[in-house]
Amino acid sequence: MAIAQELYPSQDDLLYEEELLRNPFSLKLWWRYLVARTEAPFKKRAIIYERALKALPGSYKLWYAYLRERLELVRNLPITHSQYQTLNNTFERALVTMHKMPRIWIMYLQTLTEQKLLTRTRRTFDRALCALPLMQHDRIWEPYLVFVSQKGAPIETSLRVYRRYLDYDPSHIEDFIEFLLNSGLWQEAADRLSGVLNNDEFYSIKGKTKHRLWLELCDLLTQHAMEIAGLNVDAIIRQGIKKFTNEIGRLWTSLADYYIRRKLVEKARDIFEEGMTTVITVRDFSVIFDAYSQFEESMLALKMEEMSESEEEEENGEVHAVEDDEEDDRLNMTELEKKLKGFWLCDDKDVDLRLARLEYLMDRRPELANSVLLRQNPHNVEQWHRRVKLFEGNPTKQISTYTQAVRTIDPMKALGKPHTLWVAFAKLYESHKDIANARVIFDKAVQVNYKTVDHLASVWCEWAEMELRHKNFKGALELMRRATAEPSMDVKRRVAADGNEPVQMKLHKSLRLWAFYVDLEESLDTLESTREVYERILDLRIATPQIIINYSMLLEEHKYFEDAFKVYERGVKIFKYPHVKDIWVTYLSKFVKRYGKSKLERARELFEHAVEMGTMVDQSLALAALWFLLFSLSWIYPAPAEAVKPLYLQYAKLEEDYGLAKRAMKVYDQATKAVPANEKLSMYEIYIARAAEIFGVPKTREIYEQAIENGGLPDKDVKTMCMKYAELEKSLGEIDRARGVYTYASQFADPRSDADFWNKWHEFEVQHGNEDTFREMLRTKRTVAAKFSQTYLNRPENMMQKDQKLNPEEIMGELKAAGVPDDNMAALERQIIPPANTNIKDDFKKLGFVSAGVESLKDGELKVTANKEDIDLPDESDSEDDEKVEIAQKDVPSAVFGGLVRKREETDEDGANGVAVKKKDGDSVLGALERIKRMRQS
């Protein structure tokens, strides 16, 4: 064959040709020649490649480059082109020497796969696996599996290849199973999947868990039940139900679906029923029940469709039968078969039965759901009650449910109150007029060893109430006597020997039982028997304050007053505060109501003893609270001081009604010291009101001063008390004293939060003050505001310097708002701004106030003057003229004089005018106007 002229070496190739003639076996020279002719046509380069490979047939570099160029040449050509055959031949020639090179094999195999040459490709893959060492087989198997998985590959070929691959690497069984599923080979897929699950050493390279693989197997078995054989599907799924408890509902529905697909409908119903009666979670029950109900609905709908189709066929069959009867009167076997099918045992028209099944299933849902909850915890009392309620109207079912409940529940493990089941069981018989069986149930119930005594006592009480409802009063009393009887010594010894003490041994100390028993005795029996029961309660030391009060009131109703008071005495000895409070209050009120003034001294002793116990308990509890506080115990004992207040009020009322007013005031004074801090203000208010009513308003000044100075009130209550005191002084015309009280109270009022106090003082100064007093009020307000605004203690010099830096415009605005005329502006500025050489000596002092009979000193100290009633008056009048001053006289308000004075005036035989009032101690109290008159006359 002639070679084209352009394929011969050119003038430029002579240099390379000469070198190759000298050394034709040099790979370097051949590679330089090929690189130099990169732009040459492929045919020329192919000749160079062929010459080089003829000289160097074992060069991998030349073969690889040659094959790459040939692959690029056929890339865009159809697979039927002749170049593909040339390429295949080149690969075959290369593999003669390159059969150990996996890359050459892979390029050849990929090329054959693209050419769709199935047989040649499969054989080439086999040759590659035979030629290459075992360590490099994984590089061949990957494209081999891609080749057998493509469309058009015979299934049998693919299966054989995959099986050979699993012999090489069994860990990729999941890929084979996936291939089987995609190919529709359900039988082998199920076999392989079950083998994987049975292999304990299997490890999924795709990260699938045994649980997931099990669910896949269940889905495969159920969805292709007719195609898969040879596997015990029922045993496989049941094993999964026992092993994987979090998907029990899904596995039960899968098993039922398997039987449905195999057209075993009744078996599927049995599986659904078994699943609903064995699951223990509501979620699994809901899954099974929903699947079951859908199955029944689908079966009903399918049957109705079949009936409609059969009816149409029967109509058409009747028409043809009329025509056939005329032609042939012989026996028709088809009609005979239809008649046999129409027999009632072979009736296919069971729509009513299927509908009844569906309705019965829906009606059973609450019962089945309750059974699930009871399987979770068979000792749940509330669920048993709900189960009984489900069978309302069916006494037989209710009785069987109660029987099952009392047999199942262990009282020591019960969630709830198990005795309520026994009581409800007995009431069920009672509601059906079967009292004998109700008594039998109660008799068995009282023998059960409950967790607490209160449960057993409740059963006895319910039994007695049943007897009362049926007018068996003696039987009820006998039951209570039987229940409260103390066990004998023999019984106690036997129980002690067993080591397990039942609640029946403690029943005779049940307070609930004794309370019910004493109510029965009081209602049905005599007073003596009732007293015996009460005494028995006291002897057992289980009495409560309410029982003490009830016992005493019973005796009072029967006119046994002294015996009732003796019971009260026993109660106050048994109980301590705060429990004894109610006994004391009831005892004292009854005693005072009974004897009044006749046994006043005894009543006083009782009151003193009551409040003394409260004070003693208060001190002991304070020590106990300190002790437990040191040990960080988190409990709070109620303060007995809170319980003492009503006793003090009763005591004071006794003295007011039957005793002396002076003793009543003393009781009020003691009460203000005994009550807790949060009750002191209200106690002082009562004290002041009673003092004003009895002794008059001037007496209240001492109480106000005591409350403000030494009353132990909180700061906010001191401020409130000062405001009331100031209002009192203002109502009596003592303006300076009221101002002093406001000044004293200002130290407790922050101007930023206590605007009400400062507004009242502002109104007071506007009505009764002058420029100086108003300015002093403003200065006090700024000082107090500075005090409350500071976060640390400042030096006195700094605080006084702040007071010196006054803003005249702000002060003038305040004075103008108060009604001060503008003409005094200059004078006020001169007075407000101090001279430069002023020496500041005073410290920030606690403000004092002018008290009744006291004078204000430094640091808020109070000093009593020698004569409380003396008023210092100048010897000579300030006026130059000796003109007499006309003083307007007003009547003294009657509130100034107490109720005792008014009573004395009414009974005064001499008709005194009431100007001077004699007190009990003999001192004379004169009004201010009367004292001024007497001094002027003297």
Tell whether the model's pLDDT for residue 842 goes beyond 60: no
Per-residue HEC secondary structure of 465-476 comes to HHHHHCCCHHHH
Look at residues 867, 836, 837, 841 and name the one whose alpha carbon lies nearest to residue 853. 867
The pLDDT score that the predictor gives to residue 318 is 53
Average pLDDT over residues 8-35: 81
Q: For the segment 507-538, what is each residue's pLDDT rounded down to a tens digit? A: 888 889 999 999 998 888 888 988 899 999 88
Average pLDDT over the chain, rounded to an integer = 77
Look at residue 406 in the predicted model and tell me its pLDDT: 93
Does residue 369 carry a pLDDT above 50? yes
- pLDDT mean over 109-129: 89
Whether 296 contacts 260, CB under 8 Å = no
Lookup: tokens for 104: 């050459």
pLDDT of residue 640: 58
Residue 838: Cβ within 10 Å count = 9
The reported pLDDT for the residue numbered 747 is 87
Q: Which H or E run includes 862?
A: strand 862-864
Q: Distance (Å, rounded) from C-alpha 513 to C-alpha 462?
A: 11
**Kind of pairing between the strands at 917-918 and 862-864:** unpaired
Q: Report the alpha-carbon distance of residue 646 to residue 611 in Å, rounded.
A: 10
pTM value?
Answer: 0.62
What is the full DSSP assignment across 97-132? H-TT-HHHHHHHHHHHHHTT-HHHHHHHHHHHHHHS
Token readout for 739 is: 């101002």
pLDDT at 149 over 70: yes
Q: Is the pLDDT of residue 382 over 90?
A: yes
Which of the 8 DSSP states describes residue 172?
G
Q: What is the pLDDT of residue 858?
A: 39
pLDDT in tens, 306-340: 777 766 666 665 545 444 544 444 445 556 555 55
Angle at which helix 661-674 crosses helix 677-695, to 10 degrees, equals: 170
Which pLDDT band, with edges at 50, 70 and 90, does 828 fall under?
Answer: very low
* Of residues 837 and 24, more confidently modeled: 24
Provide the 3-class DSSP secondary structure of residue 359. Answer: helix
- pLDDT of 332 reads 55
State the Cα–Cα distance between residues 773 and 771, nearest whole angstrom: 6
Which distant-in-sequence residues (6+ apart) come within 8 Å of 339 by Cβ? none
804 confidence band (pLDDT: 50, 70, 90): very low
User: What value does the mean pLDDT take over residues 80-108?
Assistant: 89
The mean per-residue pLDDT over the stretch 475-495 comes to 86
Cβ atoms 932, 887 nearer than 8 A: yes
- The tens digit of pLDDT for each residue in 673-693 reads 888 888 888 888 888 888 888
Regarding predicted confidence, which is higher, 76 or 893? 76
Going by pLDDT thresholds of 50, 70 and 90, the confidence category of residue 293 is: very high
* 867-890 average pLDDT score: 43
Q: Which of 55-69, 99-113, 185-199, 914-928 has the lowest mean pLDDT?
A: 914-928
* pLDDT per position as a tens digit, 627-669: 333 333 333 333 356 667 888 888 888 888 887 888 888 888 8
Q: Is the pLDDT of residue 904 over 70?
A: no
Least confident of 54-58, 852-856, 903-907: 852-856
- Whether residue 345 is predicted with pLDDT greater than 80 in this model: the reply is no
Q: What would the two tokens of residue 534 be?
A: 């009460």
- pLDDT tens digit string along 703-740? 888 888 877 888 888 888 888 888 888 888 888 888 88
pLDDT grade for 405, boundaries at 50, 70 and 90: very high
What per-residue confidence (pLDDT) applies to 846?
Answer: 38
Residues 583 and 642: beta-carbon distance below 8 Å: no
Candidates 378, 382, 353, 383; CA nearest to 367 is: 383
Confidence band, pLDDT 50/70/90 cuts, at residue 4: low
- In this prediction, residue 839 carries a pLDDT of 39
Cβ contact 162:176 at 8 Å: yes
Q: Would you state the pLDDT for residue 442?
A: 94
- Res 381: pLDDT: 93
- CB atoms under 10 Å from CB of 742, counted, come to 25
Burial class, 520, CB count within 10 angstroms (exposed 0-12 / middle 13-18 / buried 19+): buried
pLDDT of residue 601: 81
Q: What is the CA radius of gyration of the chain?
A: 57
Determine the Cα–Cα distance for residues 109 and 91; give it in Å rounded to an integer: 10
pLDDT of 901 reads: 52
Helix crossing, 210-223 with 233-243: angle to 10°?
150
Query: Nearest-5° angle of CA 726, CA 731, CA 736?
Result: 55
| Contacts (Cβ under 8 Å, ≥6 apart) of 176 | 162, 163, 165, 166, 192
Say how far apart CA 521 and CA 478 lie, in whole Å. Answer: 11
Among 74-78, 103-107, 653-657, name the most confident range.
Answer: 103-107
**What pLDDT is attached to residue 649?**
84
Mean local confidence (pLDDT), 197-214: 82
Give me the percent of the chain exceeding a pLDDT of 70. 76
pLDDT at 375 over 80: yes
